Structure 1
Amino acid sequence: MTSPYILVLYDTNLERTKELAYAIAEGVVNVGMAVKIRRVPKVSSATEQVSPAIPDEGDLYCTMDELSDCAGLAVGSPTHFGNMSASMKYFWDNTVTQWLSGALQGKPACVFTSSGTMHGGNEATLLNMMTVLFHHGMVMVGLPYAHGELSRTVRGGTPYGASSVTGAAHELAMTADERHLAIHQGERLANIAKKLANQT
């Protein structure tokens, strides 16, 4: 039997969502919990094209067993018109087996995103990703205003989950506040997962 772990699952286009994923994972490790960082395969516009099961580079693709067996989950996607990416949506559209078995019920989860502009739909994306997780029976974990960065951030960061604004041309580096909020989110998710694990 494997030790409890937090699964950080993400999709990314130009690496910002991946940066947030690694900051969340850092927070998980800070509180002494194991973490697995995984991504979803890209959906191709050429429907006959099939990618290899193991990517040529970068983080591994998430398996359904890794999803089912996690003690907590962080889900991140770039913002696409106020919603998660097609690749992330496709992944979740194929989790009916996990839904039927209740594999994720009662487990804590959080969401994170990046967008090109302040009004690019990042909060809508976070809320839309939550919908899927609610259907799986997960317990949503947000970011409380106890973290001072949430009140002073001038770009990313919301009570719904960590976020980052990249700029329309992706010219903006992640701010310290955005990164710290992602770390706090990972810490909070892991702490709640540990508490829930001790009660079962």
Structure 2
Amino acid sequence: MADILVLYYSRGGSVAALARQIARGIEEVPGMHARLRTVPPVAVQTEVAMPPVPEEGAPYVSKRDLEDCAALALGSPTRFGNMAAPVKQFIDTLGAEWASGTLVDKPACVFTSTASMHGGQESTLLSMLVPLLHHGCVITGIPFYGTALSETTSGGTPYGASHFAGPRDDATLTEHEIELARGLGTRLARITLSLKSA
């Protein structure tokens, strides 16, 4: 079994829902296992420590998860067309991993959720791809095969999976969003398997 790290931050649950669909797609490929992890929120007051384990959902990520993974799916909600601060803060701590090449040649993809239809899905995905390129990852996106990417009226881009959650973050994933997220997970797993076999 090869582990693929599905790492995300989710405040309202939409990014977590996408992460679960990507994980399902990963595990549809024989020999691949999805490891769901999250990053801790950024504390408003630096004196307040976060609990060592989240009360619910995926455990917090460790640097060891990055070493152990065969590939990475990285997700964040959109904050003004950019990744959320907790994801950026975690990425900013990866200097030693960058220097040692921990993620070099590992396939990677990205995913996001927005409160508004034109809330910066693609720019957020691109903002997450930039550090992955610096780390030497092999970037995977969503090609225009099938019809879901062309027919979606909510989330979904060639840069990665996405979801339009609505202003109250209460919109469930559409069939197209589910198909694209699962397809992205499956594609990431198949590319990982091909590279491991090469």
Given the two structures, how large is their TM-score scaled by the length of structure 2?
0.97
Corresponding position of 1:67 = 66
Aligned length: 197
Corresponding position of 1:8 = 6
Corresponding position of 1:80 = 79
Say whether 1:144 aligns with 2:143. yes
**What secondary structure sits across from 2:131 in the alignment?**
helix
Measured after TM superposition, the shift of residue 106 of structure 1 is: 0.6
Amino acid at match of 1:39: T
Corresponding position of 1:191 = 190
Query: Structure 1 regions of 5+ residues with no counterpart?
Result: none
Measured after TM superposition, the shift of residue 57 of structure 1 is: 2.0
Query: Structure 2 regions of 5+ residues with no counterpart?
Result: none
Measured after TM superposition, the shift of residue 54 of structure 1 is: 1.6
**What secondary structure sits across from 2:162 in the alignment?**
strand
Alpha-carbon distance in 1 for matches of 2:170, 2:107? 34
Measured after TM superposition, the shift of residue 172 of structure 1 is: 2.1
Say whether 1:180 aligns with 2:179. yes
Measured after TM superposition, the shift of residue 169 of structure 1 is: 2.2
Alpha-carbon distance in 1 for matches of 2:162, 2:146? 14
**What secondary structure sits across from 2:4 in the alignment?**
strand
Percent sequence identity over aligned pairs: 46
CA offsets, 1:8-40, max 9 Å, x none? 000001100000000000000001211100000
1:30 to 25, 28, 31: 28
Say whether 1:106 aligns with 2:117. no
Given the two structures, how large is their TM-score scaled by the length of structure 1?
0.96
**What secondary structure sits across from 1:43 in the alignment?**
coil
Pairwise CA RMSD: 0.9
Alpha-carbon distance in 1 for matches of 2:148, 2:180? 7
Alpha-carbon distance in 1 for matches of 2:88, 2:185? 22
Alpha-carbon distance in 1 for matches of 2:187, 2:99? 28
